[in-house]
Chain A
Amino acid sequence: MRNQRHTPLARFSAVLCVVVALLSGAAPAWADGGPAGQDVHVAQTLGTRELTVVVRAVEVVPGPLRVNVITHAGTPAGGIRLSAAPTGVRSGDDAAGSPSETRLDLGAEPGSYDADLAVDVVGPWELVLDDGEHTGRIPFVVPAPVVSPVQSLSQNGFLAAGVLLVLAIATAVLSRRAWVPLIPAAGVVAAIAVGAVGALLTGLVPPPPRPGVELDATVDNVRDPYAGGALAPQDFSRPPATLVVAARQVPTGADLALTVTDGSSGAPADDLLVHDSALVHLVVVTPSGGLRHLHPARTGPGTYRVLVDSTEQGHYAVSAEIARRGGGVQLLRSATGFDLGTDTTAPAPVAGDGPRRIGGTDVVVRTEGLDTAGATTVHARFGTGNDLQPWLGMVGHMIVVGPLRGGQDVGRAAQDAPVWGHVHHMVPTGPGDQPDETVAAYGPDTTFTHHFSLPGRYLVWLQAERHYSVLTVPVELTITGREDAEREEGR
């Protein structure tokens, strides 16, 4: 009987200790599982300017929106108009939000130029860059602080346990009836059970689909991404897209209008994600074998515009790398390319291994494994110091096109080439946000590995940024077939 009398008190003490311990550690964790704010880096070829726009994460709504516009060597000085406007579909009596606008003067010196705008509602927004002649519209999402329902349940369970515990103690002291304190005491047990189950489930319940990434973003689903619950689809992928290129000759080259449509419905594909720091990576091979790696400005739903600064006459081959909402990167090769003039341009001579000087930088190229039997690696050293800047989030890029047929201008041969590839030399991963181009701390060595499945003559272009200038190094590779390689080894 003695043990029986003391057991409840021991249980009570244990419960008290557990409640105190759990309540003391229960801090609110904002944005767990929700759309945590991240910087958005977007390259934009706006007219003759190649810009990198960094939309910094919004911490507080309403609050400031910091935008960095990074210019490159040769970018013309001048003013551009920056504006941010809410574009989200909303329900209920949500405020529509107010646009804000500012003017940013870009100097002749390459570097980062900063502007401050304001956002006053969460949800989808559009940042508009306007140089007076060209306009680029960059969609982005202003996130809301989000607590998962399970986490909220856990916090509320422990909170209720604390309140009920005080109530149990108070009724135990004040009540003359023995059964009265049992009610809040039982509530303490139940509330702790709820809190503990919620805490255990917090890591197990899958996060909701991310508005803007997997689902079309609206004000409602940004504010509460859990609201869709079981309604959200499990497979978010969308059909392949179709790219149509229309070129207009201008004195400096070609003014391209691009249309991206859904391959199934034919409707404008206005759901392109920023991947590798751009909405669209447009690769153009010129008639002489030059490369343009551009980032067309979004002018409207599914429409993009870009200037190609090449006056070479002949055929231009075009491809675009995109990622649609729902996942998956697609390479869209224009079936037509475009032509300028009626003449052709002779191929420019391209070196293989060895040193060369590109844009004031000594570049040394070395290749190994030039056959289809295994991996081919291209090493390139840009200068001598660790001063490469991350361009499009990478230390280096290698564009691969081939095998190229002889007897054609390079643009036409590239149009017919069966293989187009894009290889990266990644920035070493580290804590924090992605470094922008102001961090000149990488290289000088870059390495690119690619498996060539077909023998033949290829052109690859190595790209890296140094002193705010994007260096493009063409290299010719001759890939031998597996049998040739084995014969060579047997000698």
Chain B
Amino acid sequence: MSNTADRLGTLIRDNLDLDHDPDLDVKFSDVAISSVEAVAFFKLVNEEFSLGLAAEECRQFETLRQLVDFIDARGG
């Protein structure tokens, strides 16, 4: 796993009530977290990686891998 993926995995394990380990290629829609949890998680990602993205921009990411790639392309 990349450093970005590790950091995201830690954010997920510490903040989302999942009964499975995060998988880079699973669709977010199949993780089925609530919309409140999704926005709360997105806020944490924004803070961890200084992204400054608006809520409507999170829908471009369908999987954790797409989010990792986006963050890495921005320089982590």
Physical interaction between A and B: no
Chain B interface residues toward A at CB < 8 A: none
